[in-house]
Amino acid sequence: MKLFRKILIILLLLFVVVTTILFVIGFSYYSNTLKQKPLMTRVEEITSKEHYTSFDKLPENYIHAVIAVEDHRYYNHGPIDPIGIARAFYTNIRDGEFDEGGSTITQQVAKNIVFNQDKNIVRKLGEIFAAYDLEKNYSKDEIFALYVNSSYFGDGYYCIYDASMGYYQKEPKDLTLSEASMLAGVPNAPSVYAPTVNPDLAKKRQKHVLNKMVEYGYISREEADSI
C-alpha cells in the first residue's frame, strides 16, 4: 500500500512538472509571436478588409452549418472544449485515424490569424493562450465572423465573401441552404473539398454537414434529403 502511494505521488509530481513546462513553453511561444504583431492589430487587419463580412450579414443557415460541423457546442463552452477534445480522442482511437482534432472555432481563429498552419505541439499550446485572449477581448459572434473571414475556401478564396462570389456569384447573405452547407464544409480541407477540385468529395462532405445540421436540430431530415 505504501509503495502504491509513493508511485501515485511520483506520478502526480511528474504530471505537475510536465504541465508546468508545457504551460511555460506555450505561453512563451504565444508572447514571442505577439511581439511581432499584437493580437488586436491582427484582428483589425481582418476586419478592415474590403470584403469583410460581419456576423449580421451572414445567413442563418450558413452560421448553423458551420457550427454544426465545426464546433456544435460553440456558444456553450469557453476558448477550449474539454468535452470536444475527449470526444475527438475517443473517435480517433476507435477509428484508428486522426481525423478529429477537437479544436474549437476560437482555436481555429487563433491558428488562422496568429500562427502558421504547421502542426506541432508548441503551436497547439500557444493556440490555447491565443484562444483565451480572443474570448477575453471579443464576443462569440465577432470571433465567428473572424473565423469565416480568415478561412481558406480553395481556388484562391480566403474569406466567405470571396468564396460565395467565386463559386456562386452572389453575396453570403443570399446563399441558399444547399450553397451554405457546401461552403461550410470546405475549410476543413480546401485542397480536397473545394467544389471545383473534386465535386464528388465536395458533395460527400456537404452530406456530412447536412447530417450534422439534422443531428443538432437546425434542419429537418426532409430538408437535408431534398438537397
Q: Which of 85, 142, 81 is nearest to 113 (CA)?
A: 142
* Whole-number Å distance between alpha carbons of 110 and 116: 10
* pLDDT (average), residues 73-94: 75
| Per-residue confidence (pLDDT) for residue 85, from 0 to 100 | 67
**CA 146 centroid distance within chain:** 11
pLDDT of residue 41: 95
Which pLDDT belongs to residue 10?
Answer: 78
Give the Cα separation of 201 and 204 in Å (integer).
Answer: 5
Q: Assess whether pLDDT exceeds 70 at residue 111.
A: yes
Spatial separation of the C-alpha atoms in residues 41 and 160, rounded to whole Å: 21
In this predicted structure, what is the pLDDT of residue 96? Answer: 56
Buried b (16+ CB within 10 A) or exposed e, 205-222: bbebbbbbbbeeebbeee
Residues of the chain above pLDDT 90, percent = 65
Task: Find the angle CA(64)-CA(208)-CA(198) to the nearest 5 degrees.
Answer: 115
Between 22-36, 40-54, 134-148, the lowest mean confidence (pLDDT) is in: 22-36
Residue 95 confidence (pLDDT) above 60: no
Output the pTM of the full model.
Answer: 0.87
- The pLDDT assigned to 98 comes to 46
What would the mean pLDDT of 186-211 be, rounded to a whole number?
Answer: 94
User: How many alpha carbons fall within 13 Å on the CB side of residue 184?
Assistant: 32
Contacts of residue 136, defined as CB under 8 A and 6 or more positions apart, other chains included, come to none
Please report, in angstroms and rounded to a whole number, the separation of the first and last CA atoms in the chain: 62
**Alpha helices, DSSP H only, in 71-104?**
82-95
The whole-number pLDDT of residue 26 equals: 76
pLDDT, tens digit (0-9, with 9 covering 90-100), for 56-74: 999 999 999 999 999 999 9
Residue 51 CB neighbour total at 10 angstroms: 15
Tell me the pLDDT of the chain averaged across its residues: 88
Q: Are 25 and 122 in contact (CB under 8 A)?
A: yes
Average pLDDT for 199-207? 95
The torsion angle over the Cα atoms of residues 157, 160, 161 and 167, rounded to 10 degrees, is: 60
Residue 133 predicted with pLDDT over 90 = yes
Is residue 171 within 8 Å of residue 161, measured between CB atoms?
Answer: yes
In the predicted structure, residue 179 carries a pLDDT above the cut 60: yes
More confident residue, 68 or 24: 68
What local confidence, expressed as pLDDT, does residue 152 receive?
A: 96
Is pLDDT of 219 > 90? yes
pLDDT score at 79: 86
CATH architecture, domain 2-226: Orthogonal Bundle (1.10)
Q: Are 29 and 125 in contact (CB under 8 A)?
A: yes
Note the pLDDT of residue 33.
85
